[in-house]
Structure 1
Amino acid sequence: MSSKLKTCICLLLSIFIFASCSSSGSDASNQDIIVKEFPNTAILSGKPAKEIILTTTWANLVVVDTFLVIQKREAPFIKIYSTNSHKLLGEIGTQGSGPNEFEMPDMLKQTSYDKQNNSPVIRLYDIGTNRISEVNILKVIKGSDNAITQERAPDLNSVTVTLHHIDDSLFLANPETGGRFVILNSNTKDTTYIPFIPVLDVELKDYTKFMIFQSSVVVNKKRNRFVAAPTYLDELNFFDLKGNYIRSTIVSPRENLLPPPGIQILPEGIKRYFSSLVEADNKIYASRRWPDEGKIQVFDWDGNPLEQYTLEVNSRIGSFTYDKIHKRFYVCFPDEEPYNIYTYPLN
């Protein structure tokens, strides 16, 4: 064998070995990540935001810029506070099915900006009216009549139960039937139904799968993927934006959580795990509902565990959000009285 041929073979072998090593943890590996521990842990001290007075025990939270947006289940559905002072800046949203009204709204984690007045914009999906609403924050604060714009959700073969993301190219939602997720390409109008994956070892009816796989979801378009946290499984499932399954990050073994074979409805006593996901600073923040109540776990977009924060108030987390400017969490504790909105600084 000539020295030149040997050199070429060695070079090709080196490239192959390098490519194999560098692909570890990439989409191509498709290997699940089993969490044995979190590299960093900390206990966070918080305090009630006493200026924020809510007449509800449930709230959905989003922070955008210096605004804390709280969505309730009753009118006025939207309340906007300053994250600098916690002063109430404005509120909007009456009950009904007419223009600028809501029946059963649900605020998305997705935020954007209106270039005309450089205002943050939040989105809501109303399953009662099948409408998507955009709320201009600055217009609400100014009391403008045109602060809300609404449009019908796209017509699909199934009812949209929960909307996770919508823009000029992507519609991602939970359908009532047809699978775990539905993806609509807004440009081509192609529709993809994602089945109930990952496949579980226990044979279950679709209704039970629907309940187990009902998820909180956040999207990272720059990474071309989204992550879903199933309500009754202690794990995160990663997909690309075409609906291809990538991998799971498993915190608790599935065999310890799943109902017995043949169960058509959720058995009594089955435990809920993740309650909400938030994406910030290219990280995934996940709140724990049970059994480790009062915890927020942090992962990167490859599914690797990074940090785990234990909140001093060991109570059921209803929802939470992260304030990037002030570097703190806002957490809603439905069972706490007389205040149920707390702040937890990361220091």
Structure 2
Amino acid sequence: MKLSCYPTSIFKISKFLQVVFLLIVVTECNPKSAKNTESIIPIDTLSAEAETVREFQKLIPGEIELNDDCFGDVIELKGLQKNTSAIFEVKETQMLVKDSLLIMANLNNGNMFLIFSLPNFRLVKSLGKMGRGPGEFQFPKLVPSENSENLCYIYEQANNHLFSLQKDFSITELPFKLRDGQTKRMINDKLLVSFSPNEFLYAESIKGGKAIFDFKVLDDSTQNQMIYNLSFSDAYKSWASYIGDFGANAEKERAVYAYKYFKRLVFTDLKNNTSRTLIFNAGDAKKGDAMATMSPENTTHYWGMSAQKEHVYVLYSGRSPVEVNKEWRKKEYYIFVEKYDWNGNPIAKYRLNNWGYFCADEQRGKLYLASVNDADPFFEYTIE
């Protein structure tokens, strides 16, 4: 019996030694083994680190003086002209991208809104007649939407009404109205962005300047609150001195305003109620009334903005309308786009080989420009 069991015992011992050896090897090689317990990160620590990664960095408040060299070398871009079957004159144009559509508001005698498919710029739909009747528009502005259920909102400056442009291209008036302007002007100058279907931010003229307001729709009422005063000098009290462009980012809780007649931008941290002002050494606008400020001899700085998820893009001229017209007579067409992150840090500056109205498509890495000088107006620029 012992002889018959002896080989079996040897086999069992051998198997046991093999198992022990494998355990030693695995223990030495595996960083998650008991021998390396100090490298194991507790689950609650992982969750805390994930929260830290998701939190957007804080904006550094204060006024910062900058020169144009803060962007580094200007990047020259040559646009690819895109043909379309639509025939229209580019006039007081505004554009934005939603999903695979380029939506345009264009002041003309036909339809006020044109919708094109990307990337081929095929006209999908034209709608919105000019007029004073039901369903007609006089001075509409496109309002980018964070709502996945619609394409964008439309703000009618003539009567302070808001509409929703649905995904089926129908236009529905919203059941509430924005507060009337604080200044006695025939046309409201609100510049709106949408944070949600029930919350809008806007910049608007106030007595002696301009301010940012937060508008919320509650269950049975609305709430309107001024959150930042954009006025910066008693020497400039005309509403025209504070003309500019407004954008915001709901996810990062940031707003930005760029002044037309000053090379000046204000980035606002809405969560912490702080602001960062960028002031470029570009000279001040003329003092005086609206006529003096808007003189064609006065330098135009910013006059177009496209707020995206990661960056904000601002159209920049840096010349007066008189100078631009002289260049056009020589067939010299160009304009700049400045790129900033949402904490007000300059990232890049592009020189486009045409002049017109623009929007950014950060998802596709493109800038789109509607030229005022070409019969086929669309140009596509590839950015980094």
Q: TM-score range by the shorter chain?
A: 0.7 to 0.9
Identical columns (%): 17
Structure with a larger share of its residues in helix: 2
Matched, 1:333 2:379: no
Q: Calculate the TM-score normalised by the size of structure 1.
A: 0.76
Q: Unaligned regions of 5+ residues in structure 2, if any? A: 1-56, 325-333
| Partner in structure 2 of residue 278 of structure 1 | 306
Q: Give the Cα–Cα distance (whole angstroms) in 2 for the partners of residues 185 and 129 of structure 1.
A: 17
Task: State the one-letter code of the partner of 1:126.
Answer: E
Q: Give the drift of 1:245.
A: 5.5
| Partner in structure 2 of residue 143 of structure 1 | none
Counterpart contact for 2:367–2:381, Cα < 8 Å: yes
Task: State the one-letter code of the partner of 1:123.
Answer: Y
2:121 to 81, 86, 94: 86
Q: Give the Cα–Cα distance (whole angstroms) in 1 for the partners of residues 107 and 271 of structure 2.
A: 33
Task: State the one-letter code of the partner of 2:313.
Answer: Y
| Partner in structure 2 of residue 106 of structure 1 | 141
Q: Give the Cα–Cα distance (whole angstroms) in 2 for the partners of residues 109 and 263 of structure 1.
A: 32
2:335 to 294, 312, 319: 294
| Partner in structure 2 of residue 50 of structure 1 | 83
Counterpart contact for 1:230–1:274, Cα < 8 Å: yes
2:178 to 154, 158, 161: 154
Larger radius of gyration: 2
SS of 1:308's partner is: strand
User: Bigger CA drift: 272-281 or 148-157?
Assistant: 148-157
Matched, 1:234 2:263: yes
Q: Deviations over 1:260-301 (max 9, x none)?
A: 4x5664254111111111122411111112339421111111
Q: Give the drift of 1:340.
A: 2.1
Task: State the one-letter code of the partner of 1:237.
Answer: V
Relative to structure 1, the CA distance from residue 331 to residue 191 in structure 2 (aligned partners, 3 Å threshold; closer, same or farther) is same
Q: 4+ residue runs of structure 1 moved beyond 6 angstroms? A: none
Q: Give the Cα–Cα distance (whole angstroms) in 2 for the partners of residues 239 and 191 of structure 1.
A: 15
Cα-Cα RMSD: 2.8
Q: Give the Cα–Cα distance (whole angstroms) in 1 for the partners of residues 130 and 215 of structure 2.
A: 32
Counterpart contact for 2:245–2:305, Cα < 8 Å: yes
Q: Give the Cα–Cα distance (whole angstroms) in 2 for the partners of residues 307 and 41 of structure 1.
A: 7
Task: State the one-letter code of the partner of 1:30.
Answer: G
SS of 1:273's partner is: strand
2:166 to 129, 136, 148: 136
| Partner in structure 2 of residue 258 of structure 1 | 285
| Partner in structure 2 of residue 165 of structure 1 | 193
Q: Give the Cα–Cα distance (whole angstroms) in 1 for the partners of residues 207 and 173 of structure 2.
A: 25
Q: Give the Cα–Cα distance (whole angstroms) in 1 for the partners of residues 181 and 302 of structure 2.
A: 29
Counterpart contact for 2:339–2:349, Cα < 8 Å: yes
| Partner in structure 1 of residue 348 of structure 2 | 307
Q: Give the Cα–Cα distance (whole angstroms) in 1 for the partners of residues 290 and 105 of structure 2.
A: 33
Q: Unaligned regions of 5+ residues in structure 1, if any? A: 1-24, 115-119, 141-146
Q: Give the Cα–Cα distance (whole angstroms) in 2 for the partners of residues 279 and 163 of structure 1.
A: 13
| Partner in structure 2 of residue 19 of structure 1 | none
Q: Give the drift of 1:157.
A: 5.8
Structure scoring higher RCO (CA < 8 A, sep ≥ 6) equals 1
Task: State the one-letter code of the partner of 2:106.
Answer: K
Q: Give the Cα–Cα distance (whole angstroms) in 2 for the partners of residues 109 and 95 of structure 1.
A: 21
Relative to structure 1, the CA distance from residue 337 to residue 179 in structure 2 (aligned partners, 3 Å threshold; closer, same or farther) is same
The count of corresponding residues between Structure 1 and Structure 2 is 299
Counterpart contact for 1:216–1:228, Cα < 8 Å: yes
Q: Deviations over 1:25-51 (max 9, x none)?
A: 954642425244214542112122221
Q: Calculate the TM-score normalised by the size of structure 2.
A: 0.70
